[in-house]
Structure formats: C-alpha cells, structure tokens
Amino acid sequence: MAQRYEDIPTSVILRAQVGEPAAVSELVLLLSERAFSLAYRMCGDPEEAKDICQEMLMHVVKNAARYDPARPFLPWFYRVASNVCLNWLVSPQHRARAKSLDQGSSQHPGFQPASMARGPATDAMARDMRDVVHQIVHLLPEEYRAVIVLHYFEGVPYPDLGEILGLPLGTVKVRLFRGRELLREKLEALGFDKP
C-alpha cells in the first residue's frame, strides 16, 4: 500500500533546524521508512538502499536550515531525497556495484525471477500482479521510475510531483503513462497476458 502522505510535525523540524540532537533523532526516525522505501524502490537492492537512505537523511539534516517552515515539509524532503537518489544511481560507485552484481548473478537481487517465471498456468500467488509489479519497477529507466515510485509507492500527489522533480504537470502525466506502458511490456514478457 502507498504510504500516507502526511506531513512531519513542524515543531520537530524547527528544533532539528537548530541542531537539537533529540529532534534530529526524531526526524530521522520519522523519515527513515520513507527514505528507505524510496531508495529501495529506486535501486532494487536492500543493501545499497541502506547506504542511499543514510546519504538522503544526512543531506536532509545538513540542509535543514534551508527549509522554509512556511511551506509543507514532505515535498522539500522528497526533492532532496530524490536528487540524492538520482545522483547516486549515476555515480561510479553504483555502476561498479551493479556491474559486480551482474557478473555474480544473471539477475539483480531485488528482482526475484523464481516467483515470476513460473508461467501463466502455475502458482496463483505469483500470478497476482501486485506481488510482481513492485519488484520490477527498478528496471524502468530512471525518469519513469522516479515518477512511478513517488506517485504510487510514496503517495505523492500530481502537483507535488511536478514541484519535487521540477517538471510541468503535463510531463509528469506523460511519464507516468509511459512508465505504465513499459511495465506492461515487462509483465507481458513475464507471461502476464491480462491485467
């Protein structure tokens, strides 16, 4: 289920902005799940997602003073977090890791082919698109992956998506549509002939 898109209490943010350790801890605790979920959906590797998650949270805490408390916090958080994530995905560190994983196994660890390669006539659980679709999202190109993950998994509404990714609403809609199209192609390739 998509996370509820509820904002973080302003009092916590204001105290974290001045570096109060208890407030920073609370903020980290409140954001950890969102940050890890975003990182994992974007990279598909739980171990790498931990590193990305920490990097995201560090960026948020370091730059907390730049946040304007008069505006909602979550769009600001997701903007910082998605920038960190997208930068990470083009970094040599990520490429080297992805290359070594590719050499180690034919599939990415986040991608679980065993549950999906059974074909249309087998296990009814594996036939449930919900169980499969979230595991193949990280295989989408980054521009489509980001909008799909933020909108469907993190529950970010359309207008905030545009603000977070710096895109007009029309582009957001087109990317969501094309992302779904690419997912459909991948699902069809895995034997899902009908939704």
Partner 1 sequence: MNCQEFEHGLEDSPDSSLSPETGRECEEHAATCAKCAERLAWHRGLHHALLNAPRVGIPAELPVESGKSVIEAARRYRSARERMLVGALGIALLGLSAAFFFFGLAEIARDEATAFVSSTGEAVDHVETESGSILDSVWGSIASGIDTFCLMCAPSTDESASVYFALTLALVLLAAAAAAIYLGVRKVGGSRA
For residue 35, give the nearest of 15, 54, 63 by alpha carbon. Answer: 54
Residue 125 makes contact with partner 1 by CB under 8 A: no
DSSP-assigned letters across all residues of the chain: -PPP--PPPHHHHHHHHTT-HHHHHHHHHHHHHHHHHHHHHHH--HHHHHHHHHHHHHHHHHTGGGS-TTS-HHHHHHHHHHHHHHHHHTSHHHHHHHHHHHHH-SS-TT--GGGTTT-TTS-TTTT-HHHHHHHHGGGS-HHHHHHHIIIIIS---HHHHHHHHT--HHHHHHHHHHHHHHHHHHHHHTT----
Residue 46 vs 99, nearer CB to partner 1: 46
Helix (H, G, I), strand (E, B) or coil at 11: helix
Residue 166 vs 170, nearer CB to partner 1: 170
Residue 52 makes contact with partner 1 by CB under 8 A: no
Least separation in angstroms between residue 70's CB and partner 1 is: 23
Interactions with partner 1, residue window 3-22 (CB under 8 A): 3, 19, 21
Least separation in angstroms between residue 131's CB and partner 1 is: 7
Residue 167 makes contact with partner 1 by CB under 8 A: no
d(CA 89, CA 83): 10
Amino acid at 40: Y
Write each residue from 57 to 96 as x if it is in contact with partner 1 (CB under 8 A), else as -, in one continuous string.
Answer: xx--xx----------------------------------
Residue 4 vs 106, nearer CB to partner 1: 4
Least separation in angstroms between residue 140's CB and partner 1 is: 12
Q: 5, 14, 50, 127: which one contacts partner 1 (CB under 8 A)?
A: 50
Residue 36 makes contact with partner 1 by CB under 8 A: yes
d(CA 98, CA 18): 38
Residue 130 makes contact with partner 1 by CB under 8 A: yes
Which residues of this protein are in contact with partner 1, per CB under 8 A? 1-3, 19, 21, 24-25, 28-29, 32-33, 35-37, 40-41, 46, 50, 53-54, 57-58, 61-62, 129-131, 133-134, 137, 148, 152-153, 158, 173-174, 177, 180, 183-184, 187, 194-195
